[in-house]
A and B are shown apart, each in its own frame.
Chain A
Amino acid sequence: MRGFPIFPEQASTFAGPVDLLYFVLVGLSLLFAGVLPFVILWLIVRYHRSQKVDRSNPINSSLALELTWSIIPLILALGVFFWGAFLYIQMRTPPAQTLDIYVIGKQWMWHTQHPNGKRENNELHVPIGRPVRLIMTSQDVIHSFYVPEFRVKQDVLPGRYTTMWFEATKAGEYYLFCAEYCGTEHSRMGGRVVALSLADYEAWLTTQGPIILPDGSIDSGQPAISVDLGDPMAAAGQQLFASLGCAGCHRDDGGGVGPSLVGLFNSEGSFADGTTAVADENYLRESILNPNAKIVAGYPAVMPPYAGQVSEDQLNQLIAYIKSLAETDGN
């Protein structure tokens, strides 16, 4: 037992700002909840029927008073709203350069996968001082990835990706909870988040353990650390891309039946029905599983749907590969 703790540790860049806002809210609440009961107590004692006090000229309404106690709370509420709104926008806007880690939730465990192919169960190792973005999906029901010490939480949904970012500030071990009720063993669906210094993290990345091999299979091994922390996922995705025959239509030079995927990620595409969308992870996912949902303008609707033919892991690899095509294009 760690004594009688009443407050969680602050271990991410969000923890400080969120706690500050929280304490301001506690303070403002005390203005009301701390003072009002004493006003009421004073009133019910002073004006108790046994007290001989002046009760003449009672008033039953006062527009000035009503306006006062409507407008002051309104101003305070709007003040904390805008404060919270800016912080929220910041919490939901990841920086341009993030370390992307894939997370898959299922009843009742978490799989995480690092860019060099290193995999973990119910654990997540992250470096401190570096923004980390989690790209998450679920194989079955809704889960929620929650790290109290980081003050971050995001539901993890089946059938789509949700993302969340944070930057850990303090090396240590923290709780990882599933926060959305997901069935019998919900309360045991969790583990730990281990925050390490960048050097320790890189060393940890090369330790013996389950890894993903270039052909997409999972085995035990000792992963190599690559300079850009980006190869094996994309490599596995490239293998898959070839073995599924994707390259036959999606030719890099743009001369295929389907559009070229070079530079696709995060670009804006326009479709046969006149709409447009940004090609994010959810778009890529949909276009692989159900290609006819959005037909790129100028191309025929001939791609077969891959729903049920690729696993969540394989999808993550394909998407990592397609994203890598955009990065090489940019450089």
Chain B
Amino acid sequence: MATTALPQGYLRDDAPGAIAWLKSWLLTVDHKRIAILYLLAINFFFLLGGLAATVIRIELATPQGDLMSSDIYNRAFTLHGIIMIFFFLIPSIPAVLGNFLVPLMIGAKDLAFPRLNLLSWYIYMIGGIFALVAAVFGGVDTGWTFYTPFSSTYSNSNVILTIAGAFVMGFSSILTGINFIVTIHTMRAPGLTWFRLPLFIWSNYATSLIQVLATPVLSITLLLVAVERIWGVGIFDPALGGDPVLFQHLFWFYSHPAVYIMILPGMGVISEIISTFSRKRVFGYEFIAFSSLAIAILGFLVWGHHMFVSSQSVYSGLVFSFISMLVAIPSAIKVFNWTATLYKGSISYRTPMLYALGFIGLFVIGGLTGIFLGIVAVNIHVTDTYFVVAHFHYVMVGGAIMAYLGGIHFWWPKMTGRMYNEVWGGISALIIFVGFNMTFFPQFVLGYMGMPRRYHVYPEEFQILHVLSTAGASILAIGFIIPIIYLMLSLRTGKIAGDNPWEATGLEWKTTSPPPTFNFDTTPIVNEEAYAYPPDAPERDAAAWKPGSPL
């Protein structure tokens, strides 16, 4: 039982009625309340995308099409891709955790442009509504990649509405990026120099740069598809005098960096978690910080590796392959530095730490199979097969979602003021890890055997592996549902967390949980580096442990 009352902080409800309460949320300019709005909306889209994935996996349990027609199947995987990428993965960590934490971590009262922040959320919701309306009125069957001339001329589905949704969402992404960049540049607390910033801030900074620089290219590209589709202006369709490969260049010029929009903030989360639960400063701080920037920059130069078999010349194939190899290095640097952080630490197996360790394992597999795909001779065989599907799910689900869940658990006490059930937390993290591997590892084998992606029906000999994958997916689904239950329950019955339940460093832990509306009563002054655990912190933590303390 809690002995002290929960501080209300930014969650304080002093509205005199239901309408006023609704207004206090829907018209708020508090970055923390906006983060909660994003959390609700983004999780809704995650469940919707997950539902589409469930339908797909059930259909693929048998080689013939028995649950639905090919047309419905194509709409299901398109819905899954569009919802998960544009409305879940891209905004997930920046818009929820970034929104909540960037001002807190740098000792600011709010983001630089609070109203713009609220506008970003509304723009995101409008984009989401476009996509949902498109889905309700028949859906779209182009795949999330909208390849031309199929999308611009041949598809008989709601292409325009869906494109409008992704187009509108892009502005939300750009505005959030601008907001973060300006905030990080101008609103750091006194004494908080660049090299004292938490790595989560570094990775969100790198992400924001990509959002601002790359998203406009996607917007223009989607607009051009719409122009060709509505007015028949020949841009991509060769029958109208256009070039279909031009679309792929423009699309991947955004969509490859977009992968780093998804994974970089996750890497920031992992650095925070690993350091906290090892009671140590993160190993090689500068190397992790600069590897984020290196990944952001290299990410702009490798789009052609999505197009090795699309009639690219041998010369450009080799150049794109070479640069893709280089991306492996900053990624490897991060993994090795996280591992080295564990050495001589005092490690505890709390739920966020389990997610962080799971992230490392899955990201390593996702990253290494990226090297397979970067080598053209191997890519020719496995591109557009399940090998690619498995690879990007290891990076996006195994990487981005594990980090998102780890981050949600890590900062849940800060966001709500309460602790969740630690036992169920650990159990569901393990279920997700096992379910994930069982779902996606067989898909590497399927891909090398030659099973093409986006297939509604398939030859019989692929069935065993598909059944394994579907079985894994049901375990994975259970793993995703459990946290929803215990996190909701914690809002009522969770133990009061206190300001700093993990005894972590960082400004966000120096204020109350949940924080007051303007975050800090007095502006904090920083006079130490990030993760300034004293050298004997691991020793003292271990010495204080006795049977019965948390593992």
Contacts and interface: CB of A to CB of B under 8 A. Distances in A.
Contacts, number: 274
A331 interface: no
Interface residues of A, number: 87
A187 B150 contact: no
A18 B364 contact: no
Contacts of B375: 21, 25, 80-81, 83-84, 88
Interface stretch (B400-408, B415-423, B474-482, B539-547): B539-547
A245 B304 CA distance: 43
A40 interface: yes
B281 interface: yes
A77 B371 contact: yes
Interface in B444-463: 445, 448-450, 452-461, 463
A120 interface: no
A142 B149 CA distance: 7
A227 interface: no
A89 B314 contact: yes
Interface string A18-43: 10011001000100110011011001
A22 B539 contact: no
B364 A33 contact: yes
Contact of B454 (A50, A61, A91, A187): A187
B360 interface: yes
A224 B127 CA distance: 62
B448 A22 contact: yes
B150 A32 contact: no
Interface string B277-303: 011111111110000000000000000
A96 interface: no
B368 A84 contact: no
A5 B147 contact: no
Select the residue from B318, B336, B375, B460 with max chain A CB neighbours within 10 A: B375
B2 interface: no
Contact of A153 (B239, B336, B381, B460): B381
Contacts of A175: 450, 459
A13 interface: no
B384 interface: yes
Contact of B365 (A33, A78, A186): A33
Contacts of A5: 449, 461
A73 interface: yes
Nearest to B291: A70
Interface in B462-476: 463-464
Given A47-B342, A184-B70, A84 B244 contact: no
B357 interface: yes
B389 interface: no
A120 to B, nearest CB: 20
Contact of A158 (B239, B384, B549): B239
Nearest to B71: A184
B311 A186 contact: no
A269 B119 CA distance: 58
Interface stretch (B86-94, B108-116, B178-186, B322-330): B322-330
Contacts of B237: 158
Contact of B150 (A57, A80, A183): A183
A154 interface: yes
A92 to B, nearest CB: 5
A65 B449 contact: no
Given A44-B347, A153-B383, A6 B149 contact: no
B150 A182 contact: yes
B16 interface: no
Contacts of B239: 158-159
- Tell me what chain B mostly uses at the interface: helix, strand, loop, or mixed: helix
Interface string A170-196: 000001011111111111100000000
B150 A70 contact: no
A60 B450 contact: no
Interface in B324-383: 325-326, 328-329, 332-333, 335-337, 339-340, 342-349, 357, 360-361, 364-365, 368-369, 371-372, 374-378, 380-381, 383
B335 A91 contact: no
Interface string A83-99: 11101110111000000
A36 B344 CA distance: 17
A73 B285 contact: no
B55 interface: no
Contact of B450 (A52, A144, A148, A188): A148
Nearest to A30: B368
A185 B456 CA distance: 8
A110 to B, nearest CB: 14
A254 B436 CA distance: 68
A51 B542 contact: yes
Nearest to B151: A141
Contacts of A144: 309, 384
A59 B538 CA distance: 12
Contact of A152 (B369, B380, B538, B542): B380
A211 to B, nearest CB: 29
B329 to A, nearest CB: 5
A57 B345 CA distance: 11
Nearest to A86: B377
Given A84-B321, A141-B154, A180 B449 contact: no
Interface string A289-318: 000000000000000000000000000000
A122 interface: no
Contact of A177 (B309, B346, B452, B456): B452
B216 to A, nearest CB: 25
Contacts of A22: 372, 378, 448
Contacts of B454: 181, 186-187
Interface in A218-259: none
Contact of B377 (A7, A18, A39, A178): A18
A63 B336 CA distance: 13
15 contacts: A18-B378, A21-B378, A29-B365, A47-B538, A55-B539, A58-B535, A85-B321, A140-B154, A153-B309, A155-B311, A181-B145, A183-B141, A184-B74, A186-B456, A187-B70
Given A85-B322, A140-B149, A184-B71, 9 more contacts: A18-B378, A55-B538, A57-B344, A84-B375, A152-B381, A153-B383, A160-B311, A184-B74, A185-B70
**Nearest 7 CB-CB pairings of A with B:** A148-B450, A159-B238, A84-B375, A187-B455, A87-B377, A43-B342, A88-B376
